[in-house]
Amino acid sequence: MDPSSNSSDTESLVESLAREAPSGAFNHADPGHQEFVQETAARIHEEADPDLIERTLLPRREDFPLAMHLAAKLAKSRQVITRLERPTKLSVVFAVYKENHRLLTPEEHPAGEDFLRRKVAQLEWLATASPKLSWELVAVDDGCPEGSGQLIEDLAQSENLSHVRVLRLADALREKLPIAGNLRSTDESRKGGSILYGLWETSQKQEAGVDHVVLFTDADLSTHLGQAGLLLAPILNHGKDAVIGSRREAASVVIKKGTRNLRGKLFIYLWKRMLSPALGNVVDTQCGFKAFRAESAQAILHDLLERGFAFDVELLLKIEHRNPEGIAKAPIAWIDSEAESTTTALSPYLTMLRSIASMNRKYLPADPKSEAFVSFVESLDESQWNQLVENVPDAIATRNPAHFGQFDEISPNDLNAILQDA
């Protein structure tokens, strides 16, 4: 085949699909928008090479609607599923806390995303690519005072959503399950307690002859679950133990509605300095889209320090200790959903950094450079952290976080000087 002809056909298909894309801003809670990206993804998979489509789109990010970029990711994911050679089970876990409004439709509440129905529809769509894929969607109630878990359970029962079930962290505490650690109540969990319980519970149920992958995501719709195939591929095809859905790769597509960039960069710089050289190729530890081989999850879900928002950093550290080559990254499409964000409201960054400091002491050999950053983080109070956020050094603010692993120009002394001058 003439390469120029192939390129011309790809360009023609892309332009045709772009004309059919929804006008205006993409709305991940809109069933019509979701239907478009899924139908477009299926068409891309059937009529073209999804990798070639993506390579056509990415250099011209601004020229094409977001829906097109997302459809390309879904097409690549669907391709993985169509090529499954063995029965594969996907367990998708997410924590719920004060999600009672987001469960509603946009018509019922301004913060409504109808996220349960949308997540189910996304997984159902992915599963149509192959009879070898089975799935379950597991919500874990993190002690929600509004009873989000019960609301999900009621909705699943009323609409016969047979793949959906609910766990409650309170049950793990009451039964004194080891995975609950030293939590005395659900109030002490910050997402991590529930996600860890969900991963532990689902990863135990392994079947002979079935490849089992456990994945956790966020309650919101920031990440379309139809992309799960992108995380399955490195585990099933390349022997990886864990895959990070990353927002910080060259092929990632990210729409951020918030203003957390500098704060996020400072967070990344400090944790990388504390853990260096561990997780050297990892940047995006906090994206709520990670998958684990079920057997690998079982092997690391014990003797954990963290039940808060930094839990995934500890899991990745333990995976790397078991297998230095066990972690892969998958660039994803991610659309920020900040409505009623529990994480943002709690401002957890300093708390997470202190937890990571403890991980340094538990998992890593003594190192003077990392120890200096550990001591600095442990000395910070919230006021000082906020001062740093308002005065992030240009050397950090202007640098790509992907390069932080090899960058150590800003020392704890430099950061202390900022605090003294502020």
pLDDT of residue 257: 58
In this prediction the pTM is 0.94
DSSP assignment string, 89-112: EEEEEEEESS-TTTTS-TTT-TT-
* 112 in the same domain as 129: yes
Q: Which two tokens stand for residue 367?
A: 């190192």
Nearest CA to 321 among 339, 344, 296, 345?
296
Q: What is the full DSSP assignment across 141-166? A: E---TT-HHHHHHHHHHHTT-TTEEE
pLDDT of res. 258: 52
Q: What does the pLDDT read at residue 346?
A: 45
pLDDT digits (tens, 9 = 90+) for 368-394: 999 999 999 999 999 999 999 999 999
* Domain total in the chain: 2
- What pLDDT shows up at residue 6? 65
Range of the structural domain that residue 293 is part of:
85-421
Ramachandran angles phi, psi of 263, nearest 5°? -60, -40
Please tell me whether residues 29 and 161 are part of one structural domain: no
Q: Are residues 345 and 395 in the same domain?
A: yes
The domain boundary, picked from 61, 82, 103, lies at 82
- The contacts of residue 400 (CB under 8 Å, 6+ apart) are none
What whole-number distance in Å separates Cα of residue 291 and Cα of residue 297?
Answer: 9
What pLDDT is stored for residue 62 in this prediction? 86
**Mean pLDDT score of the chain:** 92
Check whether residue 43 and residue 188 sit in a common domain: no
At which of 67, 82, 97 does a domain end?
82
Residues 161-197 have pLDDT tens digits of: 999 999 999 999 999 999 999 999 999 998 999 999 9
Count CB atoms within 10 A of the CB of residue 208. Answer: 4
CATH number at residue 180: 3.90.550.10
What confidence score (pLDDT) does residue 61 get?
86
- Residue 347, pLDDT score: 65
**What pLDDT does 2 receive?**
47
Both 212 and 78 in one domain: the answer is no
pLDDT tens digits for range 313-326:
999 999 999 999 99
| Same-domain check for residues 74 and 4 | yes
Order the strands of the 133-141 sheet from edge to edge: 164-168, 133-141, 88-96, 211-217, 289-293, 242-246, 327-331
β 289-293/242-246 pair status? antiparallel
Dist CA 343 CA 340 (whole Å): 9
> 236 and 156 in one domain?
yes
Work out the angle at residue 47's Cα, subtended by the Cα atoms of residues 42 and 51, and round it to the nearest 5 degrees. Answer: 80
Report how far Cα 85 is from the mean position of its chain's Cα atoms.
26
299 in the same domain as 379: yes
Q: Are 118 and 199 members of one domain?
A: yes
pLDDT at 345: 46
Task: Assess whether 404 and 311 both reside in one domain.
Answer: yes
The tokens describing 191, both together, are: 């997402």
| Claim to verify: residue 111 and residue 249 sit in the same structural domain | yes
**Domain's final residue, options 64, 82, 100:** 82
Q: Is-contact 96 144, C-beta < 8 A?
A: yes
Below-50 pLDDT ranges, the chain:
1-4, 340, 343-346
Whether residue 145 sits in one domain with residue 230? yes
